[in-house]
Chain A
Amino acid sequence: MIRLEKRPSPSRFWQGATPVLAVVLTMIAGGLMFAALGKNPVEAIRTIFWDPLFNPQFAAYSRPQLLVKAGPLILIAVGLSLGFRAGIWNIGAEGQYIMGALFGAGVGLAFYPAEHWFIFPLMVIAGAFGGWIWAMVPAILKTRFNTNEILVSLLMVYIAQNLLASMSLGLLRNPEGGGFPGSRNLSQYPAASNPELIAGTGMHWGVIAAFVAVIAAYVLLQRHILGFHIKLAGQAPKAARFAGVNPTGLVLLCMGISGALAGLAGLFEVSGPAGQISIDFNVGYGFTAIIVAFLGRLNPIGILLAGLLMALTYIGGELAQFMLGLPAAAIQAFQGMLLFFLLAVDLLSNYRIRLGATGEAAR
């Protein structure tokens, strides 16, 4: 008989080892799936995990792209993790990401074609504000009327998507675009663009913001009383109340930070890699960041690594698609397996597996 035995306290070893084990299991199960599709599994896994980093043909381009893809994921996930730790579930980062992009791009386009040094900083503030205000809706509804922030923040995503479509077709549409939807290309408007800062590195302001967020969150959680309150509220809500934690303030703060960071991610994306507001500007970073947050165990350093790993599966997955002819759905299934295995082996942190019926069972 296989039994599960609860550990007195979570195993530190397994907390660190489960993400690695999950990746290995994903490679094995994914390899079996690729083999079933008639592809060489070793080649497929190598194309996904190795080629973007070390293949001489692609790596010089793919490696910097890793940062471009991981930047918004990390930035959003760090914000979400603070709330998740406190038991506050912001599922609507995708909407906050869209609103950040809309506010930021709106400010930038309002100045077009003027060239002032202050335009981009203003856009950054507007982007953070856009995400923040969108997150304040579920936050205030929760603190005032006790609504469920999971539902409200998620539903706000759909409103944001419709606003995005309406803006691409109306207010923010490029007047020189011949009636086609989509705004002017901000990357072609120097005062409002977020270019690659050091050529060949993929480093843009959004990536720097992501690194800063990781460090700030780390310090906050390790050294600051607020970080202690956040952790306490998640682990022992009653104790937190006694310790003087204000639950309303915590909800507003956590939702606000995660919204603002998601808004920033949207702003950096629209002014940099994406370049313009378009109907399908959002490609799911806000949702993928939830996976990244958990893959990184809600720990800032973990999130940094998880974001890079997730970006690798995206970029490697694209390579595998056109180099090996793997269907897009197989890559999505592969990414899904990663989360599945992570959640499954997570069990090992809190439980011990015992084989056979030992005397201890009677205890």
Chain B
Amino acid sequence: MKRRTLLATAALGLGLAFGGAASAQGMDKVKACFVYVGPIGDLGWTYQHHQGALALQAEYGDKVEIAYQENVPEGADAERVLTQMALSGCNIIFTTSFGYMDATNSVAAKFPDIKFEHATGYKREHPNVSTYNARFYEGRAIQGHIAGKMTKTDKIGYIGSFPIPEVVMGINSYFLHARKVNPDVELSVVWAFTWFDPAKEADAAKALIDQGVDVIASHTDSTAPLAEAAKTNGAVIGFGQASDMADFKPSPRVSSIIDNWNPYYIKRVGQLLDGTYAQTDSWAGIPEGEVEIGEITDAVPADVKAEAEAMRDAIAAGTYHPFTGPINKQDGTPWLAEGVTAPDGDLLGMNFYVEGIVGDIPK
């Protein structure tokens, strides 16, 4: 009990020092802190979050101070890092990986005056915990379309990180849209069981290429899969993941999904400054600009490019949902009836493949 009291006192003291904890009053200056799972130089997931942090700094200048820590393991260490950040006077802490979920919630309980924002999680056990995510599956639909049109071997691949709903959702969206334009297409999934490990990611890409796959999408954070594809003299193409990865243009990188966290970070810290901040569960996508489709290069024929861009625009306009029925589950049971779009709840708990994907989700 002593420690809790002590922490609460410390938190209270800091809250007062930084101009009032009650969000309704607004603040003069916000210290925004970021916890990263990889290095900021990964050129993927963490890089993009850090770009968001820098954009936040640029937007508010002196009114915002940012601090961050890289390579924080998703386990016992995360809780300590978060507590130390809270003690150091952070007003809002963004924890940018799924594995920080329990640590974020347990530290949030001890610092009720500090706001916690957890990316890609689903637990909001305390009023000061919000969650945010992006609808990456919207971008996967466009990649799937390009993959279905571009493959010559009718074999496309996907490097999965962990078999969690967010990733399964991406695989399903990618496959559905490839199959829609190419009924012969087959999908191979390789699980890397890591978010960031260039060596493992490269091995996964090699395994796919050995199987005859010629279009690779990845759900891991580094550029290693594109680097492997680049060794094939144009035979294999892929996509930038999380970041544009423009160094691999025009091929093997023919397009990309860019996570643009800038608007979200600017919005949330802005709300903290002006006193309108409230707990949320945010899930924005292409329409809000949180998911961007990187330039589709000339390696893709003009008609395919035009179709892909039309799909992007339809998603942006809200006239097309990537999961629109009829869609069956892998075992043939119906999931979505004709014309029905997937409810968010189904997507957030997605633990099944759609019909046509061969293989099992690791159990």
Footprint of B on A, CB under 8 Å? 57-58, 60-62, 64-65, 68-69, 165-166, 169-170, 178-181, 185, 196, 199-200, 269, 273-276, 278-281, 283, 315, 318-319, 321-323, 325, 327-329
Contacts and interface: CB of A to CB of B under 8 A. Distances in A.
Contacts of A273: 76, 79
Q: Is the interface of B mostly helix, strand, loop or mixed?
A: mixed
A195 to B, nearest CB: 12
A329 B39 contact: yes
A279 B193 contact: yes
Interface in B113-166: 122, 162-165
Output the residue of B7, B85, B88, B122 with the most chain A CB within 10 A.
B88
B69 A321 contact: yes
Interface centre among A60, A61, A181, A185, by most B CB within 10 Å?
Answer: A61
Given A181-B163, A199-B2, A57 B88 contact: yes
Contact of B99 (A179, A196, A280): A280
Contacts of A283: 73, 75-77
Interface in B57-106: 67-71, 73-77, 79-81, 83-85, 87-89, 98-99, 102
Contact of A322 (B83, B85, B102, B194): B85
Q: Which 10 A-B pairs have the closest CB atoms?
A: A273-B76, A179-B351, A200-B3, A328-B71, A274-B76, A328-B70, A322-B69, A322-B67, A200-B2, A199-B2
Contact of A318 (B2, B74, B80): B80
B75 to A, nearest CB: 5
Given A169-B163, A200-B6, A329-B39, A280 B84 contact: no
Given A165-B193, A169-B363, A283-B75, A318 B39 contact: no
B83 A61 contact: yes
Interface of B: 1-4, 6-7, 10, 33, 39, 67-71, 73-77, 79-81, 83-85, 87-89, 98-99, 102, 122, 162-165, 193-194, 348-351, 362-363
B20 to A, nearest CB: 20
26 contacts: A60-B10, A61-B3, A64-B3, A68-B80, A178-B165, A178-B348, A179-B351, A180-B98, A180-B164, A181-B163, A199-B3, A200-B2, A200-B6, A274-B76, A279-B193, A280-B73, A280-B194, A283-B73, A318-B84, A322-B67, A322-B81, A322-B85, A322-B88, A325-B67, A327-B70, A328-B69
Given A58-B87, A278-B74, A322 B2 contact: no
